[in-house]
Chain A
Amino acid sequence: MQKRFAMAAMLAASFGAHAADNSELAAIRAQIDDMKRAYEQRIAALEQKLSQAEAKSAVAPAPVVAAPAAAERRPAAASSASGFNPEVSLILQGQYKNMKDVAERGITGFWPAGGHDHGEGAVEGINKRGFSLNHTELVLAANIDPYWRGQAIIATLDGTAEVEEAWFQSLGLGHGIGLKGGRFRSGIGYLNEQHPHMWDFADAPLMYQAMFGTHGSYAQDGVQFKWLAPTETFVEFGAEIGRGANFPGTDRNKNGSGAAAVFAHVGGEVGVSHSWRAGVSYLTTRAKEREAHFADINGLEAQGVLSGRSQSYIADFVWKWAPNGNPKYQNFKFQTEYFQRRESGDMTCRDEDAVGNACAAEPTAAYRTRQSGWYAQGVYQFTPHWRAGLRYEQLDSGVRDFGDNAAYLVVDSYRPKKASAMIDYSWSEFSRVRLQYAQDKSMLGITDNQVTVQYIMSLGAHGAHKF
């Protein structure tokens, strides 16, 4: 029977080469197709009988109905409206955390990122002691039409539902161009685009917390343009403009854009076992009346309000190794990022709670900082189920020029440090539990030994993860 098909196929092919009469040709093709279909259906029926008979004699490993059916020949049932439902996945994430009770957590020497607007910080669970739930993320994604794809990520926690991301992405522009619009995680840095369930440690590096708050990423409402070069080496450029409402900027009532970012990535392979990516990024935004708590020279609480410009530079590098390029059993990942942030503007010192601090006259003075930091981490998967990792990080409060306000406020100069070790176990690609120990010296005079036990479970559609 097989021979007949192939002969028919060859016949059809050789007919194609000759200049035969078109209608005749079509008729012959139709006949051949009919023949093929009839035979294939008979074969399918026979195969089904055979495999059912086999299944009875063998030990069936899973409840599988060996019903061969090609998608092409499937009945119209597949076209029912529910077939267009988006891919749905849900991330369950929670933890148990042991750490010191510190009244107002922050990073000494750095402007408390978003702390004032978001209460305990946007990913609330991460800074809670004892048992807690992190964000529960609901991901909905689908192709909209042949030209666009859309995705929304809703993060929920006790009475709040936050639109973390909601964007559309181009599919059909070609020429290496990618366009994204809506609310999205910016393409700057390496870790920025990754959601907490993809992190290799239970918390974001200090560097990301200092730059963007406990959310550990910069997201904004806007548009992103990317271009991938037609070269053997991976070379990608991107630019974004957007609202810039999130820290280090603030939400401002204005036309035009509130923040802009550019980034470039290069990457490739070394042999079959190594792959890498390196990038540089720049983010510029403005803050208006960005507020934070300070201590005045007498140790009383004071408020500082900044209006000015914030610029961030990030360099990132990732290197991955897997024997023969097969990461399933063993792999190693090294990643490091460095940032520098420069801010300048005017800061007003205030006494909002009338505690009698040094800022009663609400002095305004020039403000200028240049701060930096880095982290480096390595994660080794030594068996299919187990991974272990180490991370070291250090920040430098750098130059903090408060102008005349230096006479009223305490200006800390400090180098926050943190070292973390983690080990995690994955039953499958979809479930993971992690134990992390960290020695956190991000606050002056405090050494906080933190133990975190965390679980990450993903239900539903099998999402693809970025490099």
Chain B
Amino acid sequence: MKRILFPLLALLAANVAQADLRVFATVPEWGALAKEIGGDKVKVYSATNAFQDPHRIEAKPSLLAQARQAGLVVAVGADLEIGWLPLVLRDSGNAAIQPGRPGYFEAAVQVNRLGIPAVVDRAHGDVHAAGNPHIHLDPRNVLKVAEKLADRMAELDAANATAYQAGHAAFASKWQAAMARWEKEAAPLKGLPVLVHHQSFAYLSHWLGLKELGSLEPKPGIEPSSGQLSALLAQQQRQPARLVLRTAYQQEGPSQWIAGKTGMPAVLLPYTVGGTPEAKDLFGLFDDTIQRLLKGAR
């Protein structure tokens, strides 16, 4: 009885779900991008928010239920979500979103990644063999991902292909203009020496020319230790940093400690959409990031 009933129910549900392209984004930034491109043609679910460390999420029942119904999964890739996404995908019973299918999109493979380790060994912490996965803080990467994502959305939902391409074109031109503005505003930040909590800002630093002098984590993914913090303090004498940066999901304690000892400001950056009240969308994310950096560097 069950065996007959289930496929019937599934068929029924599949028909209902056809109305939109349902996008399952693992992180808020790519959810926001899918929304920019798709507008009202897409229904976007973000598996995490800005206050959650995307490395350390659990394969929660709610994620399985969402992945089950998704038409497109937009992931970061580069092993960022390795602790939970593979399980969510496999247990979702959704063939369309499995890696290798058009319904599975990875942002990190679309761009040139920084920090590809020469040696892959956990003695260096939770290293990502495919390079630093926090690619979205370089707006040029967002542009590259947007182009590929729009193509993918158009491929999956051919009926709305023109809408996606138009959405992308509008976004791209707006983004270009914003990028020119950000680069102008952020010009004084070039060469600014900073400390970071985790290597979350590698692409931002790369883009704006910030000089990362060290990270509070002794190794990627290993929590800041007193040894590491005192080493940074000693380094501060020789090579002073001006700011210490962290995301909304990282503990403030270690950067506050360094800030208290050295007198440099500890700056919280939104890191992703929703990380601060100002970072309502991708544009707000970069506006606020630059404003906060400028304010901190003043």
Taking a contact as CB atoms under 8 Å apart, the answer to whether B59 and A466 are in contact is yes
- By a CB distance below 8 angstroms, the chain A residues around B213 are 58-59
Q: Mark B165-182, 1 if CB is under 8 A from A, else 0.
A: 100110011011001000
Q: Does residue B221 face the partner (Cβ distance < 8 Å to A)?
A: yes
Count, chain B residues at interface, CB 8 A: 92
- By a CB distance below 8 angstroms, the chain A residues around B6 are 177, 227, 237
Residue on A with the closest CB to B140?
A: A2
Q: Which of A66, A175, A275 contacts B61 (CB 8 A)?
A: A275
- By a CB distance below 8 angstroms, the chain B residues around A62 are 117, 124-125, 127, 219-220
Chain A residues numbered 226-256 whose CB sits less than 8 Å from any CB in chain B: 226-237, 239
Q: Does residue B294 face the partner (Cβ distance < 8 Å to A)?
A: no
Taking a contact as CB atoms under 8 Å apart, the answer to whether B62 and A464 are in contact is no
Residue on A with the closest CB to B99?
A: A143
Taking a contact as CB atoms under 8 Å apart, the answer to whether A58 and B96 are in contact is no
Taking a contact as CB atoms under 8 Å apart, the answer to whether A269 and B95 are in contact is no
Residue of B16, B69, B199 contacting most chain A CB atoms (<10 Å):
B69
Q: Mark B203-240, 1 if CB is under 8 A from A, else 0.
A: 00010000111110001111100000000000100010
Q: How far is the CB of A199 from chain B (nearest CB, A)?
A: 16
Residue of A2, A64, A268 contacting most chain B CB atoms (<10 Å):
A64
Taking a contact as CB atoms under 8 Å apart, the answer to whether A175 and B14 are in contact is yes
Q: How far is the CB of B190 from chain A (nearest CB, A)?
A: 12
Q: How far is the CB of A78 from chain B (nearest CB, A)?
A: 11
Q: How far is the CB of B151 from chain A (nearest CB, A)?
A: 9
Taking a contact as CB atoms under 8 Å apart, the answer to whether B60 and A47 are in contact is no
Q: Mark B22-50, 1 if CB is under 8 A from A, else 0.
A: 00000000000000000000000000110
Residue on B with the closest CB to A230?
A: B13
A interface majority secondary structure: mixed
Taking a contact as CB atoms under 8 Å apart, the answer to whether B56 and A328 are in contact is yes
- By a CB distance below 8 angstroms, the chain A residues around B17 are 230
Residue on A with the closest CB to B150?
A: A13
Residue on B with the closest CB to A2?
A: B140
Taking a contact as CB atoms under 8 Å apart, the answer to whether A58 and B211 are in contact is yes
Q: Does residue B87 face the partner (Cβ distance < 8 Å to A)?
A: yes
Stretch at the interface among A98-106, A113-121, A318-326, A338-346: A318-326
Q: How far is the CB of A336 from chain B (nearest CB, A)?
A: 17
Q: Does residue B100 face the partner (Cβ distance < 8 Å to A)?
A: yes
Residue on B with the closest CB to A8?
A: B147
Given A16-B165, A59-B239, A174-B96, decide whether A47 and B112 contact each other with a Cβ distance below 8 A: yes
Q: Mark A148-161, 1 if CB is under 8 A from B, else 0.
A: 01000000000000
* Complex CA–CA separation, A236 to B2 (angstroms): 13
- By a CB distance below 8 angstroms, the chain A residues around B169 are 10, 13-14
Chain B residues numbered 49-75 whose CB sits less than 8 Å from any CB in chain A: 49, 51-53, 55-62, 64-66, 68-69
Residue on A with the closest CB to B45?
A: A232
* Complex CA–CA separation, A233 to B9 (angstroms): 15
Q: Does residue B158 face the partner (Cβ distance < 8 Å to A)?
A: no
Residue of A54, A169, A173, A230 contacting most chain B CB atoms (<10 Å):
A230
Q: Does residue B251 face the partner (Cβ distance < 8 Å to A)?
A: yes
Taking a contact as CB atoms under 8 Å apart, the answer to whether B90 and A267 are in contact is no
- By a CB distance below 8 angstroms, the chain B residues around A40 are 112
* Complex CA–CA separation, A226 to B6 (angstroms): 10
Q: Does residue B287 face the partner (Cβ distance < 8 Å to A)?
A: no
Q: Does residue B162 face the partner (Cβ distance < 8 Å to A)?
A: yes
Q: Does residue A183 face the partner (Cβ distance < 8 Å to B)?
A: no
Q: Does residue B143 face the partner (Cβ distance < 8 Å to A)?
A: yes
* Complex CA–CA separation, A66 to B118 (angstroms): 9
Given A171-B98, A230-B68, decide whether A465 and B61 contact each other with a Cβ distance below 8 A: no
Q: How far is the CB of A86 from chain B (nearest CB, A)?
A: 14
Taking a contact as CB atoms under 8 Å apart, the answer to whether A325 and B52 are in contact is yes
Given A59-B239, A65-B118, decide whether A234 and B64 contact each other with a Cβ distance below 8 A: yes
- By a CB distance below 8 angstroms, the chain B residues around A47 are 112, 206
* Complex CA–CA separation, A384 to B250 (angstroms): 11
Q: Mark B69-103, 1 if CB is under 8 A from A, else 0.
A: 10000000001001111110011111110111100
Q: Can you report 18 A-B residue pairs in the complex whose CB atoms are below 8 A from each other?
A: A16-B165, A59-B213, A63-B124, A70-B109, A173-B93, A175-B14, A175-B93, A228-B68, A228-B91, A229-B9, A239-B2, A320-B58, A325-B48, A328-B56, A384-B223, A464-B86, A465-B59, A467-B59
The 9 closest A-B pairs by CB, nearest first: A267-B61, A234-B61, A174-B95, A68-B112, A230-B13, A176-B93, A324-B51, A464-B87, A175-B10
A residues adjacent to B (C-beta < 8 A): 2-3, 5-6, 9-10, 13-14, 16-17, 40, 43-44, 47, 51, 54, 57-59, 61-72, 143, 146, 149, 169, 171-178, 226-237, 239, 265-269, 272, 275-277, 320, 324-329, 384-385, 427-430, 462, 464-467
Given contacts A174-B94, A227-B10, 19 further A-B contacts (CB under 8 A): A2-B140, A13-B168, A47-B112, A62-B220, A64-B117, A68-B114, A69-B112, A69-B113, A71-B109, A172-B95, A174-B93, A174-B95, A177-B6, A229-B9, A230-B10, A230-B69, A269-B60, A327-B57, A430-B122
